[in-house]
Amino acid sequence: MFKPERLVRITIQVPAQFISVATATLARFKLLHLVRIGETHLGHLGYVAETDGDLLKEFEGLFKGIKVLLEALQIRPEPVALRELIIPEKEIFKTRERLGEVTQEVESVMNDLRITREKLLEKETLRDKLDFLPPDLDLSRLLSCQFVNWMIGLVPARGLEKLQESLSEVHRAFIHIGTLGQRAVILVFGLRGDWPIFERALRGAFFEKIEIPTQVSGTAAEIMENLRSEIAELGEKKKKLSQQREIFQKKFGAELLILKEKIIQSRNILSARRHFGKIDKSYVISGWIPERLFEALKEELTKATQGQVVIEKVDPEDLREVREGIVRIPILFNNPMLISPFERLSGLYGTPRYKEVEPTIFFALSFLLMFGMMFGDVGHGAVLFFLGHLIFRRFYKYVDYGIILMECGIVSALFGLLYGSIFGLEDVIPAVWFRPMDNISYFIKVVLALGVAMVSLGVVLNLINALRLREYEGLLSTTGLAGGLFYWGLVGLGVKYLITGKLVPAELTVFGWVAAVLMTIIILHRPLYLLMVKKERIGEVVKKEGFFTEIVESIVELFDGLIRYVANTISFIRVAAFALAHAALFIAVFSIADLVAHEKGGGVFYWLVLAAGNVVIILLEGLVVSIQAVRLEYYEFFSKFFRGGGEKFRSFDREIGSEERRL
Amino acid sequence: MIARVLKYSFAQAKTRALKGRLLSAEDWHFLLRCKNPEDVLKYLSGTDYAAALSHLPKGKPDAKVLSLALYDELFRDYAKLLKAVPKKSSSLLKALLLHYEAENLKTILRGIWEGKSPSEIRFYLYHLGSLSRLPVAGLLQVQKIPPAIELLKSTIFYSPLVHALPQFKAQGKLFPLEVAIDITVLGHIVEVLKSLGGHDRKGTEVLIGELIDSENLCWLARFRHSYGLSPEEIINYVLPGGKRLRIRDLGTLARSRDLTSFLEALPQPYREALMQAKDWPEIQPLFQRWFLVQLYEVFRKDPFQIRLQLSYLLLREIEVKALDGLVSALNLGEPIEEFLEFISLPVIGGVRV
């Protein structure tokens, strides 16, 4: 949890006839970070494998087909776990046949549904267009005109003036009978002899003729009546076909999702082969896997290839490229389910190096604590929890955010209990701890203590990182042990003053001397490091180029660093500020609700204002509080210890899958 | 005034610096004496175009590739000025750039209509990069026009194209869609102009009005004499909002019997500028030469308005078009004298080089 997974570099050599089964086994294991052969020495020499392009194309075609089918049947994507071994060369036959059978069974119904929908839309559009006609307009009479032609249709409203001008030299009658979106519905009359001019002008005006069936008789109202009954019939047909689709959904949904996953896996396996090496008739696969999986993988591969596989394992420390920093060991996080969603947020700041402390657990716990403190309300917490639950159940792509939201909801509700607040009402439940608005100065002390704890944790983690990465020079700097001791001394004095209200002069004297020593160490940390660790002579150190510049820089860094400690700690006051803002917003909402309550029908408006106010607070405050919590994490906490620059572990199937999507 | 100076001080300095890098009369003197496109390329590699042309493959340049590379320089200027001008005024430059977005859209629709492959179509597109808002990748995957239009829902082209779709279906040609796209661009420029603040709007109104007049006159000439369209159809393709040509004037011009009556129907100063025209195709270059003088005039007026950047970009566009025309003429082996008749070149003090 505090460290990423321990990885080993493996190299697999497998004869060509077993490559399918070997790749399938690796895909099933998932946790392989593939090293692209093209980027290695072997790849530079041209020993790169090729893949079966035709087979890959065939899978691409099947993928498109199944996507269309899933969309037509409105089957929602859900995660599917495949247990069996996927061998693309075999899978293509199975998938093609089954997909063909399903398509054949659903095709006619789906086509019928599509056509019905189109017809319905067409009729509804016509109804909207004809709706503008005066109901008593007798179309039979219009259709029997002998010397006059007429047309009804739509033109862009902006073009009306131009249309008038283009017909200004012929006899015409224009009736603008309505507006549909950005278009005008017009009825145009002209002499039959001039009609070609009308047609040309109307063509230029992007005129869309509304077709009135020639066999119609009677008034516009009668035509509309017919249309409405046709629409009702089509609507009924659409409903029946939709029911049929639902039956298909239940019958084929799960199976189609499995088929889709198999197609994706097959495609990934085939694509991955481009990143393998090939020497003569053997494939070479190289990558990183968790050490704990090595034996199991070896066993599986040996079984699958009938013992004709050679697997080599190398510890990262034994690799020259790793020691020289040319190759970075990928980072595979190892967090429990409730913490792992926060990897997305901590990952935004950067990926830790292999030997660095993995900060997600600290991020997650402190984020939740700060969120709860700023957004403490039982009712709001419950709303957030249910929103999170909804996302968790319905939108599998956003499962991580669903979990985060649920956790935020729980801590928010817990703090709501501690503050005694439910939907802003503070007289319903008692406060287990205290009410923020009544104890502002106490609250500020609490969040300052939280700030001290977070900054101190940052310093400790920085010391651990420095030791793990052997950056001993940093131990004596402002962000190292020296700076940390100074900070803790200062905090100790502050705490004592807050508790007793006075400081003994001797304490100040001792602190002054300790501070002077620590500051001297911080300023001279670089020369001290060279003298003590690198065992250089004092003369050499002093005579080194830039010695005095370094000292001046250290002095500046010292003051900057010490100010930072104070600023970082004080910055946590925002936790209290936003918690108070949360409570203050409620006061504003209740005040507005009380005001409207005195108006006519005020009882209803009172509750409406309360409901709307709560929605606004949840959305607005929720967002602001999240941003502030993340800000505190990044700027006040992570900046103390996080180095970053690591490479994220990309599992074999995901890496190839995302690469395919990019292509 | 002080606020305007503060807002535009950097932009106007930047624009003047960019203007100083336009091709000079001397550059054109030598460019017009080039014998082939390679010579033009060689000469341009010593000018501001060097960066854009450095990516071209070695050997004889492909005319289209070279043309697109020249336009890259224009788009680079757009990007620079969009960053330099105040945000509100930048919408006018974006609206002007929309013209190239429209050209790309027309190219894509034409490609889809002719059944070309995505890579073939992409080859002909202007390299707008991050300046583009078109869903190009999606459009290139579609094989029919109506679904392509559906993909444009988030753009300003959607409604006009949907409205032009029935005519496209009835006529069985792309022309209605292409006209709809062109009208949309100019209409959008007029809309954006109206949304600008006091000085910016007043200062630019004249320039944009003349630009619209220029487009209307060119369309009138082209639709009537190249496409053989009837006056009543053409009138519907013009755009209101010009400086001196109202709908009624445009109607009269569209109905004019011949070039002489067309020129006589023009208001001043257009009549004087176009009086030398002996044939319809000369209308465009003659008007553009007149317009060029108006663009240079802007640099002598109050520089703390968006019209300065607008003028510069239009000048750069004319220069790029002239270079494009020169390369095409050399590629086709046409005599330079003929090419000179149909092209507008930069001027010094209103006199053509």
Tens digit of pLDDT for each residue in A97-116?
999 999 999 989 999 999 99
**Distance in angstroms (rounded) separating the CA atoms of residues B353 and B341:** 13
Residues 6+ apart with CB under 8 A from A324: none
Task: Report DSSP state, residue A274.
Answer: G
**Distance in angstroms (rounded) separating the CA atoms of residues A328 and A636:** 28
**Bridge partners, residue A219, by sequence:** A138
- Burial class from Cβ neighbours inside 10 Å (0-12, 13-18, 19+) for residue A249 reads middle
Residues of A in contact with B248 (CB under 8 A): 165
Give the H/E segment covering residue A166: helix A160-166
pLDDT surpassing 60 at residue B84: yes
Identity at B50, one-letter amino acid code? A
* Minimal C-alpha gap between B257 and chain A (Å): 15
**Distance in angstroms (rounded) separating the CA atoms of residues B97 and B313:** 9
Question: Of how many residues is chain A composed?
Answer: 663
Residue B180 contacts A where some CB pair is shorter than 8 Å: yes
pLDDT surpassing 90 at residue A538: no
Contact: A165, B251; criterion CB under 8 Å = yes
Residues of B in contact with A204 (CB under 8 A): 229, 232-237
Q: How many CB pairs under 8 A join A and B?
A: 66
pLDDT surpassing 50 at residue B305: yes
Residues of B in contact with A208 (CB under 8 A): 163, 166-167
Rounded mean pLDDT, A80-103: 85
pLDDT surpassing 60 at residue A94: yes
CB–CB of A146/A204 below 8 Å? no
Residue B190 contacts A where some CB pair is shorter than 8 Å: no
pLDDT score of A663: 36
Integer angstrom CA distances of residue B342 from A479, B30, B279, B322, B339: 71, 19, 11, 9, 6
pLDDT score of B180: 92
- Burial class from Cβ neighbours inside 10 Å (0-12, 13-18, 19+) for residue A323 reads exposed
Radius of gyration of chain A (CA): 37
What is the tens place of the pLDDT at every residue in A179-191?
878 888 888 898 8
**Distance in angstroms (rounded) separating the CA atoms of residues A476 and A485:** 10
Window 151-170 of B: residues touching A by CB (8 A cutoff) are: 159-160, 163-164, 166-167, 170
CA neighbours within 13 Å on the CB side: how many for A343?
A: 21
Identity at B320, one-letter amino acid code? V
Residues of A in contact with B255 (CB under 8 A): 169
- A208: helix, strand or coil: strand
Binned at pLDDT 50, 70 and 90, residue A632 comes out as: very high
**Bridge partners, residue A209, by sequence:** A153
Integer angstrom CA distances of residue A572 from A359, A443, A568, A578, A623: 19, 11, 7, 10, 18
- A191: helix, strand or coil: strand
Residue B267 contacts A where some CB pair is shorter than 8 Å: no
**Distance in angstroms (rounded) separating the CA atoms of residues A145 and A428:** 78
Contact: B167, A168; criterion CB under 8 Å = no
Rounded mean pLDDT, B104-133: 90
Residue B191 contacts A where some CB pair is shorter than 8 Å: no
**Distance in angstroms (rounded) separating the CA atoms of residues A437 and A5:** 45
pLDDT score of A653: 66
Integer angstrom CA distances of residue A239 from A113, A236, A594: 9, 5, 48
Among candidate residues A16, A50, A45, A42, the one with its CA nearest the CA of residue A281: A16
* Minimal C-alpha gap between B251 and chain A (Å): 6
Does the N-terminal peptide bond of residue B166 adopt cis geometry, omega within 30 degrees of 0?
no
Percent over 70 (pLDDT), chain A: 97
Contact: B163, A158; criterion CB under 8 Å = no
Rounded mean pLDDT, A385-401: 89
What is the tens place of the pLDDT at every residue in A330-378?
988 888 889 999 998 998 898 998 888 999 999 999 999 999 999 999 9
In the block, residue with structure tokens 């490609």: B111
pLDDT surpassing 70 at residue A246: yes
Contacts by residues B178-182 (CB-CB < 8 Å, ≥ 24 positions apart): B178/B106, B178/B109, B179/B237, B180/A206, B181/B102, B181/B105, B181/B106, B181/B157, B182/B102, B182/B215
More confident residue, A488 or A661: A488
Give the H/E segment covering residue A60: helix A53-72
Residues of A in contact with B236 (CB under 8 A): 159, 162-163, 166, 201, 204-206
What is the tens place of the pLDDT at every residue in A26-79?
877 778 888 877 777 777 777 777 778 888 889 989 998 898 899 888 888 777
pLDDT score of A457: 94
pLDDT surpassing 50 at residue A662: no
* Minimal C-alpha gap between B248 and chain A (Å): 7
pLDDT score of B349: 46
**Distance in angstroms (rounded) separating the CA atoms of residues B192 and A344:** 41
**Distance in angstroms (rounded) separating the CA atoms of residues A380 and A371:** 12
Q: What counts of helices (H) and strands (E) characterise chain B? A: 19, 2
* Residue among B141, B235, B239, B250 with most chain A CBs within 10 A, to mutate: B235
pLDDT score of A381: 94
Residues of B in contact with A181 (CB under 8 A): 159
Measured between CA atoms, the residue of chain B closest to residue A184 is B163
Among candidate residues A77, A100, A97, A88, the one with its CA nearest the CA of residue A267: A88
**Distance in angstroms (rounded) separating the CA atoms of residues A163 and B232:** 8
Residue A207 contacts B where some CB pair is shorter than 8 Å: yes
- Burial class from Cβ neighbours inside 10 Å (0-12, 13-18, 19+) for residue B300 reads exposed
Q: Tell me the two tokens of residue A342.
A: 């926060």
**Distance in angstroms (rounded) separating the CA atoms of residues B56 and A418:** 69
Measured between CA atoms, the residue of chain B closest to residue A205 is B236
For CA atoms A532, A533, A534, A535, give the dihedral sign: positive
Among candidate residues A463, A460, A469, A465, the one with its CA nearest the CA of residue A357: A465
Binned at pLDDT 50, 70 and 90, residue B342 comes out as: low
Binned at pLDDT 50, 70 and 90, residue A660 comes out as: very low
pLDDT surpassing 80 at residue A1: no
pLDDT score of B157: 93
Integer angstrom CA distances of residue A536 from A472, A532, A533, A554: 15, 8, 8, 20
Integer angstrom CA distances of residue A65 from A58, A260, A263: 11, 10, 11
What is the tens place of the pLDDT at every residue in A542-599?
877 788 888 888 899 899 988 999 999 999 999 999 999 888 888 888 888 888 887 7
**Distance in angstroms (rounded) separating the CA atoms of residues A443 and A431:** 14
Identity at A558, one-letter amino acid code? L
pLDDT score of B336: 75
Query: Largest alpha-carbon pair distance within chain B?
Result: 57
pLDDT surpassing 50 at residue B350: no
